[in-house]
Amino acid sequence: MALTREQVVGTAVGILSDFGLADLSMRRLARELDVQVGALYWHVKNKQELLVDVAARLLGGIDAGVMHPGAPADPGAARAAVERLARAVRAALVPVPDSAEVVQLAQTMQPAALRPLTRLRDLLEEAGVPPARSAWAQHLLLNHILGSVAAQQDRAVLEEAGTERGGPDLGEEAFAWGVDVILAGVLGVREPSPRTA
Amino acid sequence: MALTREQVVGTAVGILSDFGLADLSMRRLARELDVQVGALYWHVKNKQELLVDVAARLLGGIDAGVMHPGAPADPGAARAAVERLARAVRAALVPVPDSAEVVQLAQTMQPAALRPLTRLRDLLEEAGVPPARSAWAQHLLLNHILGSVAAQQDRAVLEEAGTERGGPDLGEEAFAWGVDVILAGVLGVREPSPRTA
DNA sequence: ACCTGAACACCGTTCAAGT
DNA sequence: ACCTGAACACCGTTCAAGT
């Protein structure tokens, strides 16, 4: 049977997950698929385009319940939804090495391809961010998410290599704190959200 | 005369500034210095170590007046100092392609080598961030700075390539807004700083 | 101490030619 | 339509050997 683009992307995600971006070469990918390198270029324009698809698939598994598009909710609920979605994005990326780098590349090359991230901007507007600022707020939040993911992964790699460089833990707790700080700065201090009150 | 490490780093900064990270290869660097590739490895352990030095030099030019270590100032002044230093870091990186990537690499590999960034953390503490949170706040701010630099550079590159993808401007204004949002979230809303009042 | 020459094991991309 | 074979122009790193 003929190779498909989905197969190519899927195998790329596999290599990335198991070995990291340094090992995700077109040649390695071809070897894994039992084809010659040139074959890949029939299914994909170049490596960058492939990585955009990889990023989209990494974020594609985010639960529909977390995205929950629908009737515009009240600001308090939207703010909670932003927090949930931010956590979901982080959770999807943390287990995949170098995923932050790949997502950043995709976000610059084809932002529309990453639905959960455009959804983040929509939710921010629903939560009360003026449209003129929502793209800025989205970037602020995304930089925090990706930076947090990268920091945690680098830390794990350095520890594995025996390079114990102390430093504070930058895990889930720091992440949640950062989201709170950003939303407090953007939306004002948190008020007890009147959940369906 | 024998090659020096300073020469190697200086030439690397030059290539990065003029052509970007993709063109900064050990072989290209050797060519520019009129030596064989192997010669570089007497002065530098490997490429990563070289890039740490490159990052340090990029930030090394930041004015001492902006860093201004000295007697612990009052919180309001320290907050203003954070804002100035953040702007100075951004200004140092913006003209150098891919500098955000290089600084991020250096920050993970050898954070102590980037003095302006450790100074940022100190200033945040002076401004009132509890020590237990200062490293988190430093990261939050740094992710914003680097993300902002990268976004602006990518935008310039895409425009140069004719890929007009609209999107909002993420320049100085968005940057300043982000710094304000973060500091507001971390320190509370800005109060009219009593400058030497 | 400092550098050359040469090798090792890789890259991404292209493209005529095959089926 | 889909893939092979082979080339082009590169990489980072190592290391015996030279001076």
Q: What is the DSSP letter of B96?
A: S
The band of B196, judged by pLDDT with boundaries at 50, 70 and 90, is: very low
Compute the mean pLDDT over every residue in chain A, rounded to the nearest whole number: 90
The band of A110, judged by pLDDT with boundaries at 50, 70 and 90, is: very high
Evaluate if residue A181 carries a pLDDT over 70: yes
Residues of chain B in contact with residue A181, where contact means CB-CB under 8 angstroms, are 137, 140, 182, 185-186
Evaluate if residue B29 carries a pLDDT over 50: yes
Q: Tell me what pLDDT residue B1 has.
A: 79
- Assess B11–A contact: CB distance below 8 Å, yes or no: no
CB of B195 closer than 8 Å to CB of B75: no
Residues of chain A in contact with residue B143, where contact means CB-CB under 8 angstroms, are 143-144, 146-148
Residues of chain B in contact with residue A168, where contact means CB-CB under 8 angstroms, are 135-136
- Scan for tokens 């940022």, then name that residue: B120
* DSSP helix/strand/coil, B7: helix
More confident residue, A155 or B90: B90
Q: What is the DSSP letter of A62?
A: S
Q: Tell me what pLDDT residue A146 has.
A: 98
CB of A105 closer than 8 Å to CB of A48: yes
Cα B89 off chain centre by: 5
A18-45 pLDDT tens trace: 999 999 999 999 999 999 999 999 999 9
Average pLDDT over residues A89-100: 98
- Scan for tokens 């530098």, then name that residue: B44
Lowest mean pLDDT among A31-45, A64-78, A116-130, B170-184: A64-78
Residues of chain B in contact with residue A151, where contact means CB-CB under 8 angstroms, are 108, 139
The band of A63, judged by pLDDT with boundaries at 50, 70 and 90, is: confident
Q: Tell me what pLDDT residue A13 has.
A: 98
Q: Tell me what pLDDT residue A167 has.
A: 66
Beta-carbon count within 10 A of A55 CB = 27
Q: Tell me what pLDDT residue B156 has.
A: 82
The band of A46, judged by pLDDT with boundaries at 50, 70 and 90, is: very high
Q: Is B105 exposed, middle or buried (0-12, 13-18, 19+ CB in 10 A)?
A: middle
B164-192 pLDDT tens trace: 766 667 789 999 999 999 999 998 766 54
Q: Tell me what pLDDT residue A108 has.
A: 95
The band of A49, judged by pLDDT with boundaries at 50, 70 and 90, is: very high
Evaluate if residue A159 carries a pLDDT over 90: no
Q: Tell me what pLDDT residue A5 has.
A: 98
Sign (positive/negative) of CA torsion A19, A24, A30, A36? negative
Taking only residues 75 to 114 of chain B, the set having a beta carbon closer than 8 angstroms to any beta carbon of chain A reads: 104, 108, 111
- Assess B130–A contact: CB distance below 8 Å, yes or no: no
Shared fold status for B5-44 and B64-188: no
Q: Tell me what pLDDT residue B94 has.
A: 97
Evaluate if residue A75 carries a pLDDT over 90: no
Computed over its alpha carbons, how large is the radius of gyration of chain B? 19
Q: What is the DSSP letter of A73?
A: P
Average pLDDT over residues A161-169: 69
The separation, in Å, between residue B95 CA and nucleotide C11 C1' comes to 29
B117-146 pLDDT tens trace: 999 999 999 999 999 999 999 999 999 999
CB of B24 closer than 8 Å to CB of B81: no
Q: Tell me what pLDDT residue A196 has.
A: 39
The band of B65, judged by pLDDT with boundaries at 50, 70 and 90, is: confident
Q: Tell me what pLDDT residue A72 has.
A: 67
Domain B64-188 has CATH 1.10.3470: no
State the number of CA atoms in the 13 A half-sphere of A23 facing the CB.
13
Q: Which nucleotide is nearest to B42 (CA to C1')?
A: C2
Distance between CA atoms of A163 and A166, rounded to whole angstroms? 9
The band of B155, judged by pLDDT with boundaries at 50, 70 and 90, is: confident
CB of A138 closer than 8 Å to CB of A124: yes
Structure-block tokens of residue A194: 């009147």
- Alpha-carbon gap: A65 to the closest alpha carbon of chain B (Å): 28
- Scan for tokens 């988190």, then name that residue: B136
- Assess B46–A contact: CB distance below 8 Å, yes or no: no
The separation, in Å, between residue A16 CA and nucleotide C5 C1' comes to 37
CA distances from B90 to A31, A78, B80 (A): 42, 32, 16
Q: Which nucleotide is nearest to B50 (CA to C1')?
A: D12
Q: Tell me what pLDDT residue B192 has.
A: 46
| Cross-chain residue pair A140–B184, CB shorter than 8 Å | no
Q: Tell me what pLDDT residue B71 has.
A: 66
Q: Which nucleotide is nearest to A36 (CA to C1')?
A: D4
| CATH class given for the domain over B5-44 | mainly alpha
The band of A141, judged by pLDDT with boundaries at 50, 70 and 90, is: very high
Distance between CA atoms of B192 and A176, rounded to whole angstroms? 29
Q: Where are the domains of chain A?
A: 5-44, 64-188
CA distances from A144 to A148, B44, B140 (A): 6, 33, 6
As a whole number of angstroms, the longest Cα–Cα distance in chain A is: 62
Q: Tell me what pLDDT residue B168 has.
A: 67
Q: Tell me what pLDDT residue A117 has.
A: 97
